Amino acid sequence: MQTPNNDNSPKKESGSKHASDAAGAREQSSEIVGARMPAMQREKRDYDYEKTLDGHIAAVRAVAVLADGRIVTGGNDTTLLVWSAATKEEYAAARAEIRAQYARMASSSTDLSFGIHAESQNSLLRQRMIHAALRGHTQPITCVANIRDGRIVSGSADGTLRVWTERKGDSEWISDALRAHAGPITSVKVTEEPHIISGSSDGTVRIWSEQARGRWQCETLLGHTGGVESIDRFPNGDILSGGADGTVRIWHRLPSGWQNAVTVNGYDPIRAVTVLGNDEFVSVGAQAVSTFRRNPETQMWSWHMLEGPKQPQVLPNGDLVGFTQEPGIGVWRCNEQGAWERIAFRKDWRDMIQVTVLTCGGILMRTGWMDEGRWKRDIEVFRLDEDDNLCFEVRFTSKGARGEVGDIPFPDGRFGILHDDGGVEVYRGTLV
């Protein structure tokens, strides 16, 4: 069904973040089960703290990286922030310069002290780090994506998409507001043409095409009876959507418009869908994960379900990673016969908090444990090597001074530790 958006032309607007015994138990209880240990030291990726992005006043929910290295963050404060592409060294130098400036002030007056002016120092650092603040959304920003020509698109709980264009030379961005959805935007995908595909809690998928600069038209895909939670695109151009109604739908383009070519009904609300190729995809539900494969001769789809993993996520090669009941972290693979096999497992005595798949293929695991009456948070990164060994790469302990709400992968392989006050600690990985 095609639904032109001629009556809702975009509006141009401008907008300017246990004690020592426990430590021993920790080493004894962490092990790899079900996978061969590597016979020699393999190349690994080490993560190094890069910088902290302190500018939002509420938690960050979405991240994009521009071609020139600038980071774009969107959060619950309804604002997009464009950060300068400062390196780790440049960031550290700016911070040191500001601290030295305030230290000189403190030494010349008994009324000034380093601690009192900590927020002023952070404010100056923000001014240097933030390239632009983009305002226009009226509710939390849920997703951000790049358009290949340098523009960015953001989706919000206010039901709108905004396409942001930078005006060169003055750090100002203008936006086209795309209004058609009747509910919060849940996901957005940008194609090469470029088209923008958006999913919403209103149960629709919309495909936006630019007829002329700043003039957008949308086609509406109807079929879901609950909110669309996730969308992806097949290499052949077909669109995949998963909904809270428990259905997965494949949409195919015909000369007459888009049609719902395949519908798979289930009982489990879909949280995420991931395309692995034209003939394979994975859907993650609230209680189970399913791999779907198409027979090239019959063109019929078959699927195989796996129940049990907690917080499951899909790795780039189609494997599944998640927390197990033991407890620990496991990796599963669906073989050619359709049977799921657990190919790796790592026990852990600590409380499992979160698992995140990084865009470079790493597996980031967050755990919590008590040490001398204090709650410690560990972040560890693992990776499957070419022999399917679950290899430990790096561990570091969060100080826990600020409330942490999760981790977020960056498109360029970095990741951020998110804080409830809107800060993002950025870590970059290098092969060592």
pLDDT surpassing 80 at residue 268: yes
* pLDDT 10s digits, 291-346: 999 998 998 999 899 988 999 999 998 999 999 988 889 999 998 888 899 999 98
* pLDDT 10s digits, 22-52: 333 333 333 333 333 333 344 566 788 888 8
Phi-psi sector, 237: left (phi>0), alpha (psi -120 to 50), beta: left
Name the residue with higher pLDDT: 107 or 71: 71
Torsion of CA 177, 183, 188, 192, to 10 degrees: -60
- Is 392 exposed, middle or buried (CB count within 10 Å of its CB: 0-12, 13-18, 19+)? middle
pLDDT surpassing 60 at residue 111: no
pLDDT surpassing 50 at residue 182: yes
**DSSP code of residue 84:** P
Count how many Cα atoms sit within 13 Å of the Cα of residue 154 in the half-sphere of its side chain.
Answer: 35
* Least confident span in 31-40, 102-111, 400-409, 411-420: 31-40
pLDDT surpassing 70 at residue 168: yes
CB 429 within 8 A of CB 410: no
pTM higher than 0.85, yes or no? Answer: no
**DSSP code of residue 336:** T
What is the reported pLDDT for 274?
Answer: 95
What is the reported pLDDT for 106?
Answer: 63
**DSSP code of residue 256:** T
CA angle 153, 155, 156 (to 5 degrees): 145
pLDDT surpassing 80 at residue 60: yes
What is the reported pLDDT for 174?
Answer: 93
What is the reported pLDDT for 404?
Answer: 76
Element (H, E) at 122: helix 118-129
**What average pLDDT does the structure give for the chain?**
83
- Is 336 exposed, middle or buried (CB count within 10 Å of its CB: 0-12, 13-18, 19+)? exposed
**DSSP code of residue 386:** T
Nearest to 328 by CA among 314, 311, 341: 311
Q: What Cα–Cα distance (Å) separates residue 237 from each residue in 88, 181, 297, 430? A: 39, 22, 20, 34
Q: Which two tokens stand for residue 191?
A: 């194609």
Q: Which two tokens stand for residue 119?
A: 């927020």
* pLDDT 10s digits, 273-288: 999 999 999 999 988 9
Give me the sign of the Cα torsion angle 235, 198, 360, 129: positive
What is the reported pLDDT for 220?
Answer: 95
What is the reported pLDDT for 101?
Answer: 80
Distance of CA 142 to the CA centre of its chain: 10
pLDDT surpassing 70 at residue 80: yes
Q: Which two tokens stand for residue 59?
A: 């938690």
**DSSP code of residue 37:** P
What is the reported pLDDT for 44?
Answer: 61
What is the reported pLDDT for 172?
Answer: 87
What is the reported pLDDT for 399?
Answer: 59
What is the reported pLDDT for 198?
Answer: 97
Give the integer Cα–Cα distance in Å for 180 and 317.
35
Name the residue with higher pLDDT: 403 or 209: 209
Give the integer Cα–Cα distance in Å for 340 and 329.
16
Element (H, E) at 428: strand 424-431
Categorize the per-residue pLDDT at 350 as very low, low, confident or very high, splitting at 50, 70 and 90: confident
CB 195 within 8 A of CB 207: yes
Nearest to 407 by CA among 355, 331, 330, 329: 355
CB 156 within 8 A of CB 163: no
* pLDDT 10s digits, 225-246: 999 999 999 999 999 999 999 9
Q: Which two tokens stand for residue 104?
A: 């000189």
Categorize the per-residue pLDDT at 12 as very low, low, confident or very high, splitting at 50, 70 and 90: very low
What is the reported pLDDT for 99?
Answer: 81
pLDDT surpassing 50 at residue 10: no
